[in-house]
Amino acid sequence: MKIDCRQISNTILQELKIKVDELKKKDIVPHLAIIIVGNDPSSPAYVRQKELKAKSIGAQTTILKLNQQTFEIDLLKIVKEWNTDGNIHGIIVQQPLPGQINTRIITQAIDPKKDVDGFNSKSQFEMPIAMAVLEILKSISSAPFEEWLGNKSIAIIGNGETGGKPIIKALRKLGIEPSIIDSQTKNQQQLTKNANIIISAVGKTNIVRPGMIKRDAILIGVGQHKNNGKTVGDYDEEKIKNIASFYTPTPGGVGPVDVACLLKNVVAAAEKF
């Protein structure tokens, strides 16, 4: 069964709108500030979704676009200015960044109280992608959620900084040790065949194939990429839909829930001010 991720996202956003309305009574408007550096083709679309959904809950956004040649020192200067701006509650420097900029230096420069993306090692917030995966699983689980999840065998394909790694970290915080699969893993099919839940965070075609899935497994597709101008995921939905008990679509799967969870962090940051 296809998981209705847009409905999950909308439920979160409706709850956030109520919170934003309450904050506005105290003259606090949650404010997300985003920097885009360079010409990455996918960044504008991602940022546009954040902007649209922020507007839908009554939050404010500021978007600053910098050119490909921007120096690291200039980017740091802006981040530090925003760190001290009392009207800004959340700061994002959209990744990927051009090669002359050290991503880690930038993420570590963001105030942990404003690091709503969760990349700073001292961030006060969970990474939205990990929050999104847990929200999706919660929507199909039987309560109590943590007990249900703890009884599942979980395989994660890909351990990148913005996908697999934060999900692995979030599961470990719950006391769950997933099987981690990357390009060097020798017994990939054996690990996926034994998994009740497969979370794929690679962003390549046919990473998860029908022969890798056991019947009634749950498939969460985090990875996505463009194929002939069309956004596609790590598996062919038509080929797996009769094998998996639940699966997320691409597009319209993890992405909308990810944005909603990001805004959950922004509102939480505003509530702490």
Among 58, 80, 114, the domain-final residue is 114
> Model confidence at 83, in pLDDT bands (50, 70, 90)?
very high
Do 146 and 71 lie in one domain? The reply is no
- Domain assignment present for 94: yes
Alpha helical stretches, state H, 67-118: 72-83, 103-109
Q: What is the reported pLDDT for 143?
A: 81
Do 86 and 61 lie in one domain? The reply is yes
What would the mean pLDDT of 262-272 be, rounded to a whole number? Answer: 98
Q: Which stretches of 117-229 are assigned E, i.e. beta strand?
A: 154-157, 179-181, 197-200, 218-221, 224-227
Give residue-wise pLDDT tens across range 202-259: 999 999 999 999 999 999 999 998 888 889 999 999 999 999 999 999 999 999 999 9
Share of residues in the chain with pLDDT > 90 (%): 92
Share of residues in the chain with pLDDT > 70 (%): 100
Amino acid sitting at position 199 = I
Considering only residues 217 and 162, tell me which one the structure prediction assigns the higher pLDDT.
217
- Domain assignment present for 93: yes
Q: What is the reported pLDDT for 149?
A: 97
Do 84 and 141 lie in one domain? The reply is no
Among 114, 137, 154, the domain-final residue is 114
Do 179 and 226 lie in one domain? The reply is yes
Tally of domains in the chain: 2
Do 106 and 134 lie in one domain? The reply is no
Do 84 and 173 lie in one domain? The reply is no
Domain with 72, as residue range(s), is: 26-114
- Domain assignment present for 17: no
- Domain assignment present for 204: yes
Q: What is the reported pLDDT for 229?
A: 83
- Domain assignment present for 142: yes
Do 73 and 132 lie in one domain? The reply is no
Do 136 and 91 lie in one domain? The reply is no
Do 250 and 156 lie in one domain? The reply is yes
Q: What is the reported pLDDT for 145?
A: 96
Do 229 and 152 lie in one domain? The reply is yes
CATH number at residue 47: 3.40.50.10860
Res 271 pLDDT > 90: yes
CATH number at residue 136: 3.40.50.720
Give me the chain's average pLDDT, please: 96
Do 148 and 227 lie in one domain? The reply is yes
- Domain assignment present for 1: no
Do 109 and 132 lie in one domain? The reply is no
- Domain assignment present for 10: no
Q: What is the reported pLDDT for 4?
A: 98
- Domain assignment present for 12: no
Per-residue HEC secondary structure of the chain comes to CECCHHHHHHHHHHHHHHHHHHHHCCCCCCEEEEEEECCCCCHHHHHHHHHHHHHHHCCEEEEEEECCCCCHHHHHHHHHHHHCCCCCCEEEECCCCCCCCCHHHHHHHCCCCCCCCCCCCCCCCCCHHHHHHHHHHHHHCCCCHHHHHHCCCEEEECCCCCCHHHHHHHHHHCCCCCEEECCCCCCHHHHHHCCCEEEECCCCCCCCCHHHCCCCCEEEECCEEEECCEEEECCCHHHHCCCCCEECCCCCCHHHHHHHHHHHHHHHHHHHC
